[in-house]
Amino acid sequence: MYAVALDGFGDPEVMAWTQVEDLPAPGPGEVIVEVAAAGVNRADLLQRRGLYPPPPGASPILGLECSGTVAATGPGVTEPRVGDRVCALLSGGGYAERVLVPATQVLPIPAGLDVVAAAALPEVAATVWSNLVMTAGLHRGQLLLVHGGGSGIGTHAIQVARALGARVAVTAGSDRKLARCRELGADILINYREQDFVEVLAAEKPGADIILDNMGAAYLDRNVRALAEDGQLVVIGMQGGVKAELDLAALLGKRGTIHATNLRRRPAAGPGGKAEIMIELREHLWPLVAEGAVAPIISAELPITEVAQAHRLLDSPDTVGKVVLRVN
């Protein structure tokens, strides 16, 4: 089969669409998906640069989500069936003609969504729902602060929060991105190049009930200061570094909680595992997608042979939402 292979680590040019070894037959509980499209995520960019190795046993091929058609099923799999159109959450392997994945990480494409757009859904949906709803318990009337509101995660989080009746504040680095966040339902728009989000949220007393943070160390102190009492900080990224000093007195004074989570390295099964998350998505989020309350926001669709340009686009400050690669 053909897939994107890495010729070392570095710039986007280390990637090439080339012939690789065929997949084995699916084992118990596994399926093979004929890939129609694959979503591009920031984790892919980090892995390409050698900064985010796949977990043990995962495919070294890039790609954490895909859509397509079930081509084969292993022993014990009753759903999905061969021929079903699906999207899948992956530990790796999405930038390929076919991918092997546990059946529990495969979901039907939501009603009304085309197969290419569906590739932009599993990773952001699982990340946002597991962190904001399953971990932090986001609900009506709360104020959510989303850092990186113009990203794939950010544009999805805005829509989910609004669908659940929460208010949303976002940070972004340009007025163009903030304008798109407003269109998606964000209430409070903060240009982090010109404004301090702590000062902005100080006027929204008592502060943010939940903060979804992709920056890590660089924002830790200000995130704690921006929390409301009993607030929760959910850290899902380290774009701003990995080490910072924590003011425990400030956190204790607010009875605050800090969660640090990672989707890719979660177990496939068990409490908090990927199978549990996918059940939640199918039951609670997929109906919101089907009714149009939540949709994948796609900035660009490119053929898989232009994977280098896709990575450059995702890394561009002008891109809002997701970038998708068309495979088959």
Domain borders along the chain are 2-121+296-326, 124-260
Q: Give which of 52, 30, 11, 36 is closest to 96, Cα–Cα.
A: 36
Kindly report the length of the chain. Answer: 328
pTM above 0.85, yes or no: yes
- Residues near 46 by Cβ (< 8 Å), separated by ≥ 6? 52
pLDDT at 43: 96
> How many C-alpha atoms does 324 have within 13 Å on its Cβ side?
28
pLDDT tens-digit readout, 76-90: 999 999 999 999 999
pLDDT at 206: 86
User: How far, in Å, CA of 296 to CA of 323, rounded?
Assistant: 10
pLDDT tens-digit readout, 193-202: 999 999 999 9
User: For residue 101, what are the β-bridge partners?
Assistant: 31
Helix (H) or strand (E) holding 125: helix 122-128
Q: Give which of 267, 324, 328, 257 is closest to 118, Cα–Cα.
A: 324
pLDDT at 48: 98
Q: Is the pLDDT of residue 204 over 90?
A: no
Number of helices (H) and strands (E) in the chain: give both, helices first: 11, 15
pLDDT tens-digit readout, 255-297: 999 999 999 999 999 999 999 999 999 999 999 999 999 999 9
Q: Is the pLDDT of residue 328 over 90?
A: no
pLDDT tens-digit readout, 215-248: 999 999 999 999 999 999 999 999 999 999 999 9
pLDDT band at 203 (very low <50, low <70, confident <90, very high): confident
* CATH top-level class of 124-260: alpha beta
Q: Is the pLDDT of residue 175 over 90?
A: yes
pLDDT band at 205 (very low <50, low <70, confident <90, very high): confident
- Give the chain's mean pLDDT: 97
Q: Give which of 20, 52, 17 is closest to 302, Cα–Cα.
A: 17
| Helix, strand, coil percent content, the chain, rounded in steps of 5 | 30, 30, 40
CATH number for the domain formed by residue range(s) 2-121+296-326: 3.90.180.10
Q: Is the pLDDT of residue 306 over 90?
A: yes
Q: Could you give the C-alpha distances from 37 to 217, 237, 300, in angstroms and in order?
A: 34, 25, 12
User: How far, in Å, CA of 305 to CA of 327, rounded?
Assistant: 8
**What percentage of the chain reaches a pLDDT higher than 90?**
97
